[in-house]
Structure 1
Amino acid sequence: MPELPEVEVVRRGLAPRTVGRTVTDVELLDARIIRRQHGGIDRLRAGLVGSTLTAVVRRGKFLWWRLADPDGAETGEALMGHLGMSGQLRIATADGATVTPGGPPAPSEGPAPDPQRHRRLSLHLDDGTRVDLIDQRLFGGVWTSPLVEAADGALAGVGSPDALLPEGASHIARDLLDPAVDLGAIARTLRARRSAVKALLLNQEIVSGIGNIYADEALWSARTRYDTPGTALSQRRALAILRAAREVMERALAVGGTSFDALYVNVDGRSGYFARSLNAYGREGEPCPRCGRLLRRVIYQGRSSHFCPRCQRRTM
């Protein structure tokens, strides 16, 4: 699943190509991709066609476009999107051709999404370009949502002009790349919970945007085992974990995110290269880069966890 760095790469790719453009048509090829849309395709078209995309914003793994009417007034709604497990937002050229990668394809663990077969919905813009939502597994989707004020009154997310965010994302916590994030408050929340620290990092209502990859990497960096209870953390250790997560996501963002297969690419079809820099995730049986002990992989609470048995000792 694309995590925060991958979604931010997509947001940055969409911004110069879509902001200021007007939606001229919504082409629906698979109604399952708008299953969260109240009123179905008619309501979606009514909210989008003729509207101008004024900003593209991200909080955690959620993206949304702000919408304005033909007179330039805000409509009070946003078009939300979530990439799910395999969603891609790809820019198509004016002649309808999907932009293809300029470099080598990502190493694939399975078939890549077919841009034609797995294209579920397209936004047609007034400059002739097209934004395609391609989703092989159909866990992603788009829908409109009314805007509400962020509870803390700060900018709603990265790329937002103000404190308004979609109601559908109002329960999502701020992420570690958000300028308004309060690391101390998040650390105190982690320490108040008895759950395993990895489960807490994956809880999008505590801190958003972290998934399996970056949780494992942050815990390796902070020398903390995945199953350490939150109540066993000191404030210093909790802050170290959060700072490690932020640092590893910043490094991933700098190289386009992490691509293990062709399911994640950016809007131009290019892969991210951070998989080459991972210290723990996906490296079961390889030596720990820090101490040389062989890394292990276990299934915990239904997810893979990668860790070093020497550097990340059990703390109960």
Structure 2
Amino acid sequence: MPELPEVETVRDGLDRLVVGARVRDVEVFRDYSVRRHDGGPLSFADQLRGRTLAAAARRGKFLWMPLGQDAALLAHLGMSGQLLVRDGNDPWRHPHLRVRMHLEGAPSQATALDFVDQRTFGHLAVVDLVPTPDGEPGGLGAQEAAVPQPVAHVARDLLDPVMAPGGAAREAVVAAVRRRRTGIKRALLDQTVVSGVGNIYADEALWRAGLHFARATDRLRPVEVRRVLDAAEEVMREALVHGGTSFDALYVNVNGESGYFDRSLAVYGQEGRQCPRCGTLVRRDAFMNRSAFTCPRCQPRPRSGRW
């Protein structure tokens, strides 16, 4: 599943290539891909047609493109969703094309924005914008103090300018983590605490911070929580430079290109390989129906911890 750096890579591409474009027409090829839109596919097309894509914003793994001050085109990529900027005059059609938005006036040569989704867990919808409680822009790339209504419950992410280290918002996350009675990795994955950190980057951040995933949050010192959050931001910013992490063809950027940060992963998916810091073999544990990867030496397991 795409995580924050992968979704941010897509947002950045949309910002550069289609912001300012007007939606001339919309074709919905699979109704299920707009299932979260109230009114169905015809309403979805009607509410987009003639609107201008005013910005490209993101909070956690949610993307949106404001259509004015009252509404936005909201996208969640799910496990395999892709937003591809294309030349609509090209007759080739992706076999998993679900929605095509025909554009005019884009800053690039793009004449179409395609939503492609092989596994169909992603979705698009036109939704209302609601004010942010703190009066700050809704997320990275947002220009207004507003956020899509379905995203209002999602916490800000570590790449959001409002969440700068040492600031009030970042310190509020530190306090929220320490109030939890759970393991630190579970807290990192809780999108109501801090958004956008998924399984890959949680493991990488904990390895950098030298903390085991089962360390109890209410027993961590503030400096340890800050170290984890700083490591998570650091690893995600590094991943951005490489275009994200691609393990197969299901994650690509808006130009259809894969990221290659997987070549730089220290522990995630590296079971049985040497830790790049100490040489100890990386361990894999079952965790929340997924996996957690750690270095047994750099990240000693606590004597007792909440998984």
TM-score of Structure 1 vs Structure 2, range by shorter chain: over 0.9
1:134 pairs, out of 91, 110, 116, with 116
SS in 1 for 2:55: strand
Q: Distance in 2 between matches of 1:20 and 1:161?
A: 14
Q: Distance in 2 between matches of 1:26 and 1:232?
A: 53
The one-letter code sitting in structure 2 at the alignment partner of 1:298 is D
Asked if 2 retains the 8 angstrom alpha-carbon contact of 1:96 and 1:129, the reply is no
Partner of 1:27: 27
**Change in CA separation of 1:117 and 1:168 when aligned onto 2, cut-off 3 Å:** same
2:279 pairs, out of 267, 292, 296, with 292
Partner of 2:133: 151
Partner of 1:192: 179
| TM-score, normalization by structure 2 | 0.93
SS in 2 for 1:216: helix
Cα-to-partner distance string for 1:196-230 (whole Å, 9 max, x where unaligned): 11111011111011100000000000111111121
Larger deviation, residues 126-135 vs 207-216: 126-135
Partner of 2:166: none
Asked if 1 retains the 8 angstrom alpha-carbon contact of 2:130 and 2:149, the reply is yes
Write out aligned runs for 1:244-259 (5 A): 244-259=231-246
| Alignment of 1:183 onto 2:170 | yes
**Change in CA separation of 1:296 and 1:146 when aligned onto 2, cut-off 3 Å:** same
The one-letter code sitting in structure 2 at the alignment partner of 1:243 is D
| Alignment of 1:164 onto 2:141 | no
SS in 2 for 1:174: coil
The one-letter code sitting in structure 2 at the alignment partner of 1:41 is P
SS in 2 for 1:14: helix
List runs of 5+ in structure 2 lacking aligned partners: 164-168
1:88 pairs, out of 75, 78, 82, with 82
2:94 pairs, out of 116, 134, 143, with 116
Q: Distance in 1 between matches of 2:45 and 2:120?
A: 20
Cα-to-partner distance string for 1:225-254 (whole Å, 9 max, x where unaligned): 111121121100000000000000000001
Write out aligned runs for 1:262-281 (5 A): 262-281=249-268
Q: CA deviation at 1:46?
A: 2.0
List runs of 5+ in structure 1 lacking aligned partners: 69-73, 99-114
Q: CA deviation at 1:41?
A: 1.2
The one-letter code sitting in structure 1 at the alignment partner of 2:124 is V
Q: Detail structure 1 runs of 4+ shifted over 4 Å in the superposition.
A: none
Q: CA deviation at 1:48?
A: 0.6
SS in 2 for 1:191: helix
SS in 2 for 1:240: helix
Give the paired residue count. Answer: 294
Partner of 2:40: 40
Q: CA deviation at 1:25?
A: 1.1
SS in 1 for 2:161: coil
**Change in CA separation of 1:180 and 1:97 when aligned onto 2, cut-off 3 Å:** farther
The one-letter code sitting in structure 1 at the alignment partner of 2:139 is G
Q: CA deviation at 1:303?
A: 1.5
Q: CA deviation at 1:97?
A: 5.2
Q: Distance in 2 between matches of 1:162 and 1:292?
A: 48
| Alignment of 1:239 onto 2:233 | no
The one-letter code sitting in structure 2 at the alignment partner of 1:186 is V
Q: Distance in 2 between matches of 1:95 and 1:38?
A: 31
The one-letter code sitting in structure 2 at the alignment partner of 1:46 is D
| TM-score, normalization by structure 1 | 0.90
Asked if 2 retains the 8 angstrom alpha-carbon contact of 1:96 and 1:130, the reply is no
